[in-house]
Chains A and B, each alone.
Chain A
């Protein structure tokens, strides 16, 4: 059994993405979005989660290897390459420390994803300092629209363009368009209004459109 002693997940994530992500939110194309889900079969995942919650380091390492690509991608896109590895490490350290409070009400991957989002957002102060070192939005627009290098593929270049977005716009864009969260959840997690979330999303999309129009 997954250990249930200790605080419940609502207490772990009191102010951010504590509620289940907005599964089933219909997008413009009618496609239901399922943020934070992994393709790992539940039966295979559960066993390692139980073992890790009981202190099994090897089981936790297997969970790490299963999920590190997703967590690192999230950190990379939300916070940038210079801190992505550090944030990824911190997410897994926090996951180990909080694992005993995982109640199994959602998939482990979903729980880990919410934990990762919340942790990365909690490090926004670091990211804000990083943004302060960058140029203004006009410069960002110019750089986002810079021609791709010949050796880079479209996706890689798109990733690079995303990284150059202003932090707020990038975080909303990643959470909404890449990860599939809804504006309500994003607004709650980031401490902004739904209207601000929508405007940041539109700003990010407009900044990135030049990337595809070359």
Chain B
């Protein structure tokens, strides 16, 4: 440890090295250095630290992180399409096919929307009860395993769930008019989004205080709402 006599000077050495010391202080430091070998040695050491720091290069991770990143981004390596699947309304004769107003979604986005449809459908049915007439639709989408009473506790906030239920009612009313291909795509992607949800919640369960994971999950739910809005818009168009 430097004693007080020397630390008075050494405390200024970083600013001296960085050129941010005032002219008067700089001159005083240089005068002291000329007669104090001990402080001159400290300054030399500090200069060596700075030089070494500036010479440091990249440090690649010991293992390839890409597979983990890809899995976290796109659920699984095989679920990594670069193309998008067009989601458009069915050809019911209401609109000519030559007027496509398709909304293009990736498979993941479609899967997310599909889960929301299923979740909202279940929630609305449960909330309204069997005595309430809900417009009958085609074969129900399979309920993903992640959508259980326990899982919904980690789901979107209540305000978002309300909006989902509202959008679902719109979609549910128009579902029998949607292109069967669209419905098949939604069903096919249920399993994908189910795994994604499970993975996200599992990660959060092991690290509940992790703000990044929480934010990531929140953003995912917000994405789902956004795409459900688009899907509801398509459903309205189909009507």
Interface of A is mostly: helix
Q: Is A114 an interface residue (CB 8 A)?
A: no
Sort chain A's interface into a size bin. Answer: 35 or more
Which residues of B lie under 8 Å from residue A202 when comparing CB positions?
A: 11, 13-15
Query: With A and B bound together, what is the CA distance between A206 and B57 in angstroms?
Result: 22
- A68 engages B65 (CB within 8 Å): yes
- Cα of A93 to Cα of B70 in the assembled complex, Å: 9
A19 within 8 A of B: no
Complex-state Cα separation, A175 to B59, whole angstroms: 16
Q: Is the CB of A89 within 8 A of B54?
A: no
Q: A26-B19, A123-B212, A209-B42 are in contact. Are A155 and B55 (CB under 8 A)?
A: yes
Smallest CB separation, A84 vs chain B (Å): 7
A55 to B80, CA, bound (A): 10
Chain A positions within 8 Å of B, measured between CB atoms, are: 26-28, 30, 55-58, 61, 64-65, 68-70, 72-73, 76-77, 84-85, 88-90, 92-94, 96-97, 119, 122-123, 125-126, 154-155, 158-159, 173, 177-178, 198, 201-202, 205-206, 208-213
Report B's interface with A, CB cutoff 8 A. Answer: 10-11, 13-20, 41-42, 45-46, 48-50, 52-63, 65-66, 68-70, 72-74, 80, 82, 84, 106, 209-212, 216, 219
Q: A64-B69, A209-B46 are in contact. List 6 more A-B contacts (CB 8 A).
A: A28-B50, A69-B60, A72-B58, A178-B54, A205-B14, A205-B50
What are 7 A-B pairs with beta-carbon distances under 8 A?
A28-B18, A68-B60, A68-B66, A72-B61, A158-B56, A177-B53, A208-B49
